[in-house]
Structure 1
Amino acid sequence: MTCSQTSQCILTTVGCFIYDFQTLLTGIVAIGVAIVAGIPVWKQLKDTNLQTRISHRETLATLMRDALARFGKVETAMREPLSMADRLTFYPDGEPMEIDAEGAHQLEQAFHGVLDWYLVILADTEHADIEARKLELRSAIEKLVSTLSDAHWADHNSQQDEDHNFSNEEWAEIEARCAAAKIEASSRVSKVSKAYRALTDAHEAWVLSLRCQIAKLDRKIVSA
């Protein structure tokens, strides 16, 4: 190989090295620029995620406050009717007691429409498990009211008057149903109480779930 060829080879090698080095530097600079440019984007994304979590937390907190306030009204509305029902259909030792006509009438008035604002007007507005328990309570209350109506009807109406003209057979059936309803009332009250407890449990479970979700979000927000 001649000196000229050797020099040309060296120059070519040096040129390639310089080109590769320049390419490397360009790549490093490009990466650096991308990182620097990406910092605001990453920060913006982080801020967006934080804001989303804060917004979600506020939504859950509102749901929990509304649920607690709403069920507080339910508890207030049910307290006296349930207490009255217990006094009129059970002895102090817990044994079922036959209700009398006057008690049946009073209890019917106490339960009639007592939770319509919640069980009817606000139907299908809450968690599925709560809605299922609301349906059960609504059905139990309706059956109790119907039984109480039967329990006092014969005592407060006549076989024959301006509005009624029952045959002896029909009136005997009404009186028999009235007597049976007075005994049945205690079991109807028990079913209402059971359905109400189930609704209370479902509500408490839902509130606990909301509290846990809020606490989890709080930890993420603090660590952000």
Structure 2
Amino acid sequence: MSGAFLHTVFDIAAWLAAAAALSWLSRRGLQFPAQSFELPYVAALVFGAGLGAYLFGSANLWLSGQSGIARSVEGALAGGIVAVELYKWTAGIRLRTGARFALPLALGIAIGRLGCYFAGLDDFTYGTPTALPWAHDFGDGVLRHPVQLYESAAMGLFALAYVLAVLNRNTFAITNGFYLVLACYGAQRLLWEFIKPYGTLIGPFTLFHLLSLSILLYSAFMLATAPKARPVHERAVA
């Protein structure tokens, strides 16, 4: 099977896993803010994520000396955050609304990155050359870091930890899950960017270094300013 076909298969699997995660969370008796399922909220999220995905993905191609249009998971995440925060600000919504997306996001990225791995060179998500024993030849005879698998493993481990937190009714982890998954994603992505062949923007840092750092700072601020959580059974998750 071609890499493009496998990429599509894993993209579909990622969306299905995200939907299954939402269903599983609802069956655990957790009640999340209704605003995150309202049409204007979803519209802002989809628009921001789509714009960010293509804007940052294509910009990274340009900075790396390549032409064309590309998508970026991190760009979609950043665009979605900005769009939703702007929508909430204009709509006067002060409630934190991202908690329901923590597990779906982690699972979606973990599975979706497997598709990037199987897509090979055309996906432009591989790592720099390495002599490590787990290096992978994507078809051109060069052994490279399979950074797609690194990212998949990191987000898969977060998903497992989050599931355990839900099963143990860990109020802090459930209430602040979205910001915890952002912190995990931003930290691991910042690390992997040092072993990717992307063009730099400022000194040794790529566009995605700066984007990862922005996501990390955002999540750190939201976690530091999180209201004191009451036990999960006493209220809806914010």
Please say whether Structure 1 and Structure 2 have the same fold, judged by a TM-score greater than 0.5: no
Which protein has the bigger helix share? 1
TM-score when scaled to structure 1?
0.32
Q: Which has the higher contact order (CA 8 A, sep 6+)?
A: 1
Q: Which has the larger radius of gyration?
A: 1
TM-score by length of 2: 0.31
